[in-house]
Amino acid sequence: MVIVEEGGITAAATRLLRRQPTVSVALGRLEAQIGSRLIERGGGAFRLTSAGRELYRECTEIYGSISRLADLTQSATKELTGHVEILLASHVVTPILDQTLVDFHRAYPEVSFEIRIETSRNVLRGVLEKTAPFGICLLNRRLAKLEYERIYREHFGFFCGPPHPLYGRRNLDISDLRGCAGVSFETDSMDDALRPVAIFRRDNDLDHNIVGRSTHLEEVRRLISCGLGIGPLPIHVVRQDLENGTLWRLPPYENPPAVDIYVVTNPASRLSRAEGKFLSALKAQIAAKTLADRTYDGLSPLGFSPKPVGPVQAQ
């Protein structure tokens, strides 16, 4: 598994603190035991065979299950303890998640949390490989082994920063944006999570001269506010930036690209008590609101305040 993750025997040996010949011999023994070549190597090539891909898939699932045994085997005491890890895309901003965290912590203060920021693609992979109990991310395509529930819908506007020539100008048209340098997310492409934004840019001839990219919203916002170019951001997330004057809204002013955010789970994963209860609490918060209430256009506050709304009852 480490050989595949590192992309070669030498790099794997470094990570494992072993000599390169030792790792190479171990791979040869594994291939002999299985009776199939797992990796095509030699002459600078490194490519998994079909047998290698299948074995790697099985190994990652086994590793994911074993790595979470500590949470799964927590003692079944009345006082809920344990640890909940959440894989999150970088621009997930919703009172649904925030209120769930508030209520759950009040009901179960002994449960600890870890929130890891990943690309949407890595969130899906973590859930698929069972290294995480669930994730919250954008989707481009659905994997058959996973289940999805929409948390909310957000809209992406285009913005510029104070150094940009378009800053402060009103009543602009899309045509005013053509020829401007742009910045965006790594996932802003036709085959990735921000496909709706990529389609909008393509259809309006705004997909040229991208001078900066990042996987994190904070850094895309930084590039925009520093004047490197115009770029897309979730409107409801940057509301305060607009009020502070660190960003300026550009066209389109109506019907901006819409993107859905999902909670993703793996039916084949075994959740700990803490993970299961938190996921149930999150889904209850989702079910308590209509999609209209979970659609953020940036025109009104989200209305989150840390008050007990529908608190989780300890059992």
CB-side exposure of 210: number of CA atoms within 13 Å? 18
Tell me, what's the pLDDT at 43?
Answer: 63
Rounded to whole angstroms, how far apart are CA atoms 111 and 130?
20
H helices within the chain, ranges in order?
2-6, 9-16, 20-34, 50-67, 69-72, 95-107, 120-128, 195-203, 217-225, 239-244, 273-287
Q: Do you know the residue count of the chain?
A: 315
CB-side exposure of 145: number of CA atoms within 13 Å? 13
Tell me, what's the pLDDT at 304?
Answer: 39
Tell me, what's the pLDDT at 69?
Answer: 54
Tell me, what's the pLDDT at 22?
Answer: 76
Q: Are 230 and 164 in contact (CB under 8 A)?
A: yes
Does the domain at residues 80-315 carry the CATH identifier 3.40.50.150? no
Tell me, what's the pLDDT at 315?
Answer: 34
Per-residue H/E/C for 248-281: EEECCCCCCCEEEEEEEECCCCCCCHHHHHHHHH
Q: Are 224 and 161 in contact (CB under 8 A)?
A: yes
Fold (CATH) for 2-67: Arc Repressor Mutant, subunit A (1.10.10)
Q: Are 156 and 101 in contact (CB under 8 A)?
A: no
Q: Are 100 and 285 in contact (CB under 8 A)?
A: yes
| Residue 42 host element (H or E) | strand 39-42
Domain ranges of the chain: 2-67, 80-315
Tell me, what's the pLDDT at 314?
Answer: 39
Compute the radius of gyration of the chain from its Cα atoms: 23
Q: For 230, which DSSP code?
A: B
Tell me, what's the pLDDT at 66?
Answer: 60
The DSSP secondary structure of 102-154, one letter per residue, reads: HHHHHH-TTEEEEEEE--HHHHHHHHHTTSSSEEEEE-SS--TT-EEEEEEEE
pLDDT tens, the chain, 315 aa long: 777 677 777 776 677 677 777 767 777 777 677 777 777 766 666 777 777 677 777 777 666 656 555 555 544 445 789 999 999 998 899 999 999 999 999 999 999 999 999 999 999 999 999 999 999 999 988 988 999 999 999 999 999 999 999 999 999 999 999 999 999 999 899 988 899 999 999 999 997 789 999 999 999 999 999 999 999 999 999 999 999 999 999 999 999 999 999 999 999 999 999 999 999 999 999 999 999 999 997 655 444 333 333 333 333
pTM score of the predicted model:
0.70
